[in-house]
Amino acid sequence: MTNIIDVKNVSKSFGHLKVINDCSIAVEEGSITGLIGPNGAGKSTLFNIIAGAFPADAGSIHFAGEDITHIPANQLFHKGLLRTFQIAHEFSHMSALENLMMVPGDQSGESLFNAWFKPGLVRSEELAVRQKALDVIDFLSLGHVKNELAGNLSGGQKKLLELGRTMMADPKVVLLDEIAAGVNRTLLQDLIANIQRLNKELGYTFLVIEHDMDMIAKLCNPVIVLAQGSVMVQGTIEEIQNNEEVVEAYFGTEAH
Ligand SMILES: Nc1ncnc2c1ncn2[C@@H]1O[C@H](COP(=O)(O)OP(=O)(O)OP(=O)(O)O)[C@@H](O)[C@H]1O
């Protein structure tokens, strides 16, 4: 199996605080990899570095074999590496469908997504984008709220819409940063099921930061535990939960 993301010996400090410390992680293509760790472990900082939001002080990052260490976020977006947070929050005064149509897309027409949904004759680019947005709405079972103003959607529906916006850009890898936060249990199951379908049916790779252990257990293999800016251990959720060092550093002290 190939690694679609390879982070090697990355370090990052903010002032005197070393937040990422000689950290190396690999994300296998086609996996849903979890990234967990106590508050302040450096998870979001590592996401920001991978997604090109700010540079590492040292180390390298490869995406699909290409050195992306110095490539900014907007270029990574077009290469298919997306962070949910990176995509603007919903435009509350526009409908759910219009929100999807706002995502800058790749008009190649040869994307995995288009191949999957086999849209009919495309008469114009706008019609194609609209059709694609409708397919995304359909995929996520949001048809009943497609004309609703995004600002009126529930927390969980907004998260589904956020996932939908990543789909509009035909990603290869999606970095999900605490997508379960504020989502009720029923919609959380929809969110989990949709992430699994995107992984299995469309081949998306996911790297997931999550404090919700239930979600991590259902979705992720492997799970990487970050502590004080470096990898403490990596394994299946069972291995992680049975690892004494992890229990001590994470489950023992954190009430998540
Ligand atoms: N832009 C910044 N400037 C200064 N310090 C920062 C900055 N971003 C993060 N930090 C610090 O880096 C450390 C790691 O933060 P980070 O958000 O990456 O951790 P985390 O594992 O995602 O935590 P949480 O689970 O609470 O979200 C924290 O001590 C935080 O205060």
CA dist., res. 17 & res. 20, Å (int) = 9
Q: Name the band, by pLDDT with cuts 50, 70 and 90, for residue 251.
A: low
**Could you report the predicted ipTM of this complex, rounded to two decimals?**
0.96
Q: Is 14 in the pocket of ligand 1 (CB under 6 A)?
A: yes
Local confidence band at 19 (pLDDT 50, 70, 90 cut-offs): very high
- Give the end of a domain, one of 136, 152, 168: 168
Ligand 1, residue 178: give the atom nearest the CA. 27
Residue 195's domain spans which residues? Answer: 1-87+171-256
Residues 105 and 161 in one domain: yes
Is the C-beta atom of 221 inside 6 A of ligand 1?
A: no
Spatial separation of the C-alpha atoms in residues 239 and 247, rounded to whole Å: 11
Query: Where are the extended beta strands (E) located within 58-164?
Result: 58-63, 66-67, 81-83
- Taking Cα atoms as reference points, which of 158, 138, 141, 155 lies closest to residue 96? 158
> What is the largest distance, in Å, between two alpha-carbon atoms of the chain?
60
Domain boundary residue, one of 113, 135, 168: 168
Residues 184-237: pLDDT tens digits? Answer: 888 888 889 999 999 999 999 999 999 888 899 999 999 999 999 999 999 999
Query: Chain-wide mean pLDDT for the chain?
Result: 87
Is the domain of 117 the same as that of 145? Answer: yes
Instruction: Indicate if 10 and 66 belong to the same structural domain.
Output: yes
Beta strands per DSSP E along the chain = 3-14, 17-28, 32-36, 58-63, 66-67, 81-83, 173-177, 205-209, 223-227, 230-235
- Cα gap 137→41, rounded to integer Å: 36
Q: Which of 168, 199, 233 is the last residue of a domain?
A: 168
Contacts of 85 (CB under 8 A, 6+ apart): 47, 177
Span 52-70, average pLDDT: 95
DSSP state, 212? -
Tokens coding 59: 């180390």
Q: How far is the CA of 41 from the centre of ligand 1 (A)?
A: 7
What is the token pair recorded at 102? Answer: 């706002």
Check whether residue 70 and residue 189 sit in a common domain: yes
| Residue 39 near ligand 1, beta carbon < 6 Å | yes
Confidence at residue 252, expressed as pLDDT on a 0 to 100 scale: 58
Determine whether the shortest distance from the Cβ of 48 to ligand 1 is under 6 A: no
3-class DSSP state of 104: coil
Are 183 and 241 found together in one domain?
Answer: yes
Residues 99 and 81 in one domain: no
Domain count of the fold of the chain: 2
Beta bridge partners of 5: 27, 63
Same domain, 162 and 236: no
pLDDT at 29: 97
Give me the CATH number covering residue 11.
3.40.50.300
Residue nearest atom 12 in ligand 1 by C-alpha distance: 19
175 and 72 within one domain: yes
Q: What is the dihedral of CA 139, 141, 147, 151, to 10 degrees?
A: -100
- Residues in the chain, total: 256
Pairing of strands 3-14, 32-36: unpaired
Q: Which is higher by pLDDT, 231 or 106?
A: 231
Secondary structure (DSSP) of 234-246: EE-HHHHHT-HHH
Q: Match 């490869």 to its residue by tokens.
A: 62
Residues 66 and 92 in one domain: no
Same domain? For 3 and 43 the reply is: yes
Q: Is residue 45 lining ligand 1, measured as CB closer than 6 Å?
A: yes
Q: What was the pLDDT predicted at 185?
A: 85
